[in-house]
Amino acid sequence: MALDLRLFERKRLAAPTFYLSTYLEARREEYYDRLLAVSRDGDWTGWCVFFLGAIIAQAESNTRKVKQILDLYETKKDWIVDQTRHTRQARQRRCELGFKLWRFCPSGQGQAVSGGLAL
């Protein structure tokens, strides 16, 4: 479903698709009974009620999934911004600290001021 929505958003699909297969697979026996009742007894009302129930159930399921995806996005986008900011700030602090501890020798070779390893 998420892939279909992404393709729809990018104009690769004319409309988002709506799969009922999960619902129908879970109710396979009733599905076949309803189809048989249409051909045997002409019970279109029973078939329509069953099929509309499938559409409603799948729409509710899709709505829940979309809400979960949006909630996850809202939660994680702030986290990603925070993590990126902290990482960038930490890198910048390490770099600044490195420049404070580092001096350049006249030969062009770097050497740690504190007497650590010369690079």
pLDDT at 29 over 90: yes
Per-residue pLDDT at 83: 73
Tell which residue, 23, 22, 21, 18, has the closest CA to residue 1: 18
Per-residue pLDDT at 105: 43
Residue type, 63: T
Torsion of CA 43, 54, 7, 11, to 10 degrees: 50
H helix runs in 27-106, sequence order: 28-41, 44-101
Domain ranges of the chain: 2-112
**Count of residues in the chain:** 119
Gap between the Cα atoms of 20 and 64, Å rounded: 15
Instruction: Please tell me which residue, 55 or 115, carries the higher pLDDT value.
Output: 55
pLDDT in tens, 69-114: 888 888 888 777 777 777 767 777 766 665 555 444 444 444 444 4
- Look at the alpha carbons of 15, 13, 7, 61 in this order and tell me if their dihedral is positive or negative: positive
Instruction: Please tell me which residue, 49 or 69, carries the higher pLDDT value.
Output: 49
